Structures are given as C-alpha cells and as structure tokens.
C-alpha cells in the first residue's frame, strides 16, 4: 500500500543515517532534534492530510504508473485536474502549517524530469526516461519525500561554470565509471533535505557546450556516503532548541547547505549526463512548476497571516477600526492574486510529448513576481495590525518566573475576556509568520531570482503579435 501514515513517515526517516552538522556540531539523531523535527513535522503534515477524511479525496489519487493510490506529492501531473489539485493542496497545506511543508520541490523536479528526460531520449536514443520511471515507481510505492538539489553555490556569478577559478562552484561530474559517476559540488538552500528520503539533483542554469560536466541530473538517498548536510542559521532558529517562545507550536523550516564530497551515483539513477543543451529547459521547467507551487502554498500562508491579524484585532480591541479592516482587505487581495494567477496557470496547462502536463509559464511567473514583492508587504501589514510587541515580547521564561511572571502577565492583558496566554501566543505566532528569515527569503528567492521571473514573462510573450495589434489600429501597413 503506497500511502504512508505520518508515523510511518517519521519512522522511515529514523532509519536513515545522514551526515549532519548544525552550529558546528554533528547531529546524529535527526528526528528527535527539536529544530529539525519541527521541519519534519511540516512535511509530515502532507502524510497526515492524506489520511484525514477531510483531505484524502484531494490529497490521494491513483497513479497511472503503478495503478495504486498515491499521495499527489509523488505524482507528476498527467492532466489539468492534476495541475489544479497541486495548487489547491498547496494552499490548504500552506494554511495548515503556516510555513513551508518542503515536499513540493521534489515533485517539481520529478515533473520537470518526466518531460525533459523523454525529450533527451528522443534526440539521443538514451534511456533516461525509463530510468526515471523506475525511480518514480520507487518513490510512489514507498510514498517517499524528495528534495530538490537545484541551487548551486555559484561562486563568482559573472562567470560560467567552467570559467570559475574553483571548478566545483557548480556541481559536476568528476569521474565517469562503468557502474556510475562521481559528483562534486554543493547545493544551497536545501529546505527539508533531512525530511527527505531522496535528493534529486538538476543543473541550476542553462549551460554552454564547455560546461558539459555540469549537465548532470540524478537522484540518490539523502544519506548516501559523501553527502554532508550543514544546517544554516535563520532568525528564530534557537527557539525550538531552547524549547520556549516558539510561535508556530507545530511546524517550522530549516535550510541546509548540502555538500557533495565526491559522491557516487549509479547509472540507473542518472537522468542526464552531458546533454548541455537540455539543461536550460530542465531548470526552466522545474522553476515554472515551482513558481506554480508557490502560488498555492504562499496564498495558504497568507490565509494564516490574515487569521492571525484578525485574531490580534479581536485580542487588542481593534476589530472595528476601518483602517485595519482595509489592511485585511489588502492582505486578502494579495493572497487571491497569487492564487488566481497560479491556478489560472494550471487550468491553462498543456500536454507535453511524454504525457506530462506543463503549466502556462507566463501566468505562473506572473504569480511569482507578485509573491516576490508582495509577501513582504503582507508581513508588514501583519506587523502593523498586530502591534509593536511582535518585536520585543517578554519570554515565556519571564512569564514563568515567580517574581515577575504575574506582573508581566498583568501588563500583557488585551481586550476583556481574552486569556492573556492566548494573546501572548498569538503575538509569538505573528513574530514567526512575519519575521522568520527562511520563509521570508524564500518569498524573494524561491524558484529563482525576481529578475528570472521577469525575463521569463517577456521571453514567453508574443511581442510581435502585440506590435501588429497596435499597427493595425494606427493604420500602419506592416
């Protein structure tokens, strides 16, 4: 049976043995580390929802590949319905976890590979697509979570990969063997790498012929020898570790850098190797899918932020202020814009040669451009509505201190009838929703840079057709 429970998922991670460092120390028990566990719980919510009566119908569908019920997070879209369901599930889950659930990027990789490996095979007679389908069956049958190893560390950004003084600034093949390849490099911002069973690696950019060693795609378990996960710092990273002042009591996010220190990949897991001209298409497909994904989950996160803002208005006694209600509308409007453009991109999707459906890239990028600019504004509005205590609320430990706790509690009172503890909890959640850096930065940089989204919509737009419209009206012979 292909649907894991949340508990089965966590136990499956417990059996893995990745090499992990955090704050300079080796972490051996990933699953029980409170910081990592909060992230794992967010991914676990995708397993939990698949087993809840309320969400099962939207989270689970039958895979045409294995003929079994699977979690949609393992299913490259084979219909418009699949494309739309992605966005709706993402919105539901984004609202439910209030942060990143870290399972869409793996699917975005698989969706891109399910299109591009087929096309490479068509050109070169390779067997990447078949290999990929085998891998996909494995993922579906075992209800695995995959991580997207896309973003290279990049070194000097004015240079192409092969021009870098240190050739490892983009992940590359350093050895080709009869049984597989050896790769070296590092992938940054690997959200959820330790919540994943597999890491799927794609190139991070279009490549030139000279960059042949960098044109590589593959998938390996996250505890493969040579892989090192270095969990970086984010603004609120000590809260779970200290066990206090945790705003989101259930979920969080962490983002390792994953170093590939001469890692062996067997041929059956290699999905591209040297076909440089397909690198750009592969990353473009991945990015477009990922921007579509964000249009769902970030709208869901705003839903949660709106809820927090409204609750703070109830708790502060400001629920009737018209200027705050206007700000709520500003928040709603942004959520619906992200969502509207993303779901439109889905409905307007098109079947590709391999049978996978691809979204409308202009609409998906239109959504992402809004995200990149407007999520920051949503956070600002939330802080504006919630009030200044978002940035300097006394600690839970102050509240628990017998000398000053009662005094602090007294002065944290809000509207009559609201338990002080609840007001404090909600202020803490606002801090997390508005000011946690891993989430905030993904709004801006997730799915590629803002400029990439902009260039994409220009490149994909029929500029000549628009010129013709204007010339006809102006009475100009073309």
Q: Residues comprising the binding site for FAD?
A: 191
Half-sphere exposure (Cβ direction) of 95: Cα atoms closer than 13 Å:
16
**Is the Cβ of residue 218 or residue 339 nearer to a copy of itself in the bound state?**
339
Calpha distance 462→343 (Å, rounded): 22
Picking from 83, 57, 47, 42, the residue whose alpha carbon sits closest to that of residue 291 is 83
Distance CA 414, CA 420 (A): 7
Cβ closest to a copy of itself, residue 274 vs residue 295: 295
Query: What strand order describes the sheet that includes 180-187?
Result: 25-26, 19-22, 227-231, 256-266, 180-187, 172-176
424/447 Cα distance (integer angstroms): 34
> Least Å distance between CB 43 and a copy of itself?
16
The smaller minimum CB distance to a copy of itself, of residues 61 and 235, is found at: 235
Shortest distance, position 426 Cβ to a copy of itself, whole Å: 5
Residues of each annotated binding site: 191
Closest CA to 235 of 468, 30, 434: 434
Q: From the CB of 473, what's the least distance to a copy of itself, in Å?
A: 5
CB 148 within 8 A of CB 385: no
State in angstroms the smallest separation of the CB of 134 from a copy of itself.
Answer: 31
Pick between residue 185 and residue 274 the one whose CB is nearest to a copy of itself.
Answer: 185
| Four-CA torsion 261, 267, 271, 277, nearest 10 degrees | 80
CB–CB of 412/406 below 8 Å?
no
R_g of the chain computed on alpha carbons: 23
CB of 381 to a copy of itself, least distance (A): 9
Q: How far apart are CA 320 and CA 387, in angstroms?
A: 15
Return d(Cα 461, Cα 366) in angstroms, integer: 12
In the complex, least distance from residue 45 CB atom to a copy of itself, rounded to whole angstroms: 11
Which of residues 232 and 280 has its CB atom nearest to a copy of itself in the complex? 232
90/151 with CB nearer a copy of itself: 151
3 state DSSP class of 256:
strand
Of 15 and 26, CB closest to a copy of itself: 26
Show the tokens assigned to 469: 């419209």
User: Tokens 């010129």 appear where?
Assistant: 467
Two tokens, residue 134 = 């085998």
CB of 148 to a copy of itself, least distance (A): 13
Backbone angles phi, psi at 22, to 5 degrees: -150, 130
């Amino acid at each position: 049976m292909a649907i894991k429970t949340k508990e089965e998922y966590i136990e499956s991670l417990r059996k893995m043995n990745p090499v992990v460092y955090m704050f300079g120390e080796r972490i051996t028990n990933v699953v029980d580390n409170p910081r990592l566990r909060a992230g794992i719980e967010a991914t676990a919510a995708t397993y939990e929802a698949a087993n809840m009566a309320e969400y099962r119908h939207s989270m689970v569908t039958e895979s045409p590949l294995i003929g079994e019920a699977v979690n949609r997070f393992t299913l490259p879209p084979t219909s418009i319905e699949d494309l739309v369901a992605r966005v709706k599930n993402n919105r539901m889950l984004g609202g439910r976890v209030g942060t990143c659930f870290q399972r869409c990027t793996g699917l975005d990789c698989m969706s891109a590979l399910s299109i591009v490996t087929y096309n490479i095979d068509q050109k070169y007679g390779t067997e990447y697509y078949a290999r990929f389908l085998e891998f996909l069956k494995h993922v579906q049958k075992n209800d695995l979570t995959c991580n997207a190893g896309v973003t290279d560390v990049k070194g000097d950004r004015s240079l192409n990969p092969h021009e870098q003084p240190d050739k490892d600034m983009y992940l590359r093949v350093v050895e080709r063997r009869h049984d597989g390849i050896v790769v070296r490099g590092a992938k940054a911002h690997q959200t959820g790498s330790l919540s994943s069973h597999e890491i799927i690696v794609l190139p991070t950019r279009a490549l030139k012929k000279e960059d042949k060693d960098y044109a590589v795609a593959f998938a390996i378990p996250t505890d493969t020898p040579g892989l090192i996960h270095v969990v970086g710092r984010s603004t609120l990273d000590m809260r779970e570790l200290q066990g206090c002042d945790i705003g989101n009591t259930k979920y969080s996010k962490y983002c390792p850098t994953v170093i590939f220190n001469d890692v062996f990949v067997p041929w059956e897991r290699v999905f591209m190797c040297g076909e440089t001209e397909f690198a750009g298409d592969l990353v473009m497909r991945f990015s477009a899918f990922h921007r579509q994904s964000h249009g769902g989950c970030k709208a869901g996160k705003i839903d949660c932020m709106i809820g927090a803002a409204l609750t703070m208005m109830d708790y502060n006694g400001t629920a009737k202020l018209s200027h705050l209600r206007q700000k709520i509308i500003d928040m709603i409007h942004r959520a619906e814009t992200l969502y509207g453009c993303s779901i439109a991109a889905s409905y307007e999707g098109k079947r590709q040669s391999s049978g996978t459906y691809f979204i409308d890239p202009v609409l998906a990028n239109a959504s992402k451009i809004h995200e990149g600019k407007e999520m920051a504004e949503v956070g600002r509005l939330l802080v504006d509505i919630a009030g200044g205590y978002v940035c300097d609320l006394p600690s839970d430990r102050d509240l628990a201190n017998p000398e000053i706790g009662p005094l602090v509690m007294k002065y944290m009172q809000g509207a009559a009838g609201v338990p002080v503890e609840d007001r404090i909890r909600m202020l803490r959640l606002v801090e997390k929703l508005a000011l946690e850096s891993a989430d905030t930065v993904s709004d801006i940089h997730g799915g590629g840079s803002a400029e990439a989204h902009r260039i994409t919509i220009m490149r994909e737009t029929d500029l000549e057709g628009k010129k013709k419209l204007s010339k006809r009206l102006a009475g100009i012979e073309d």
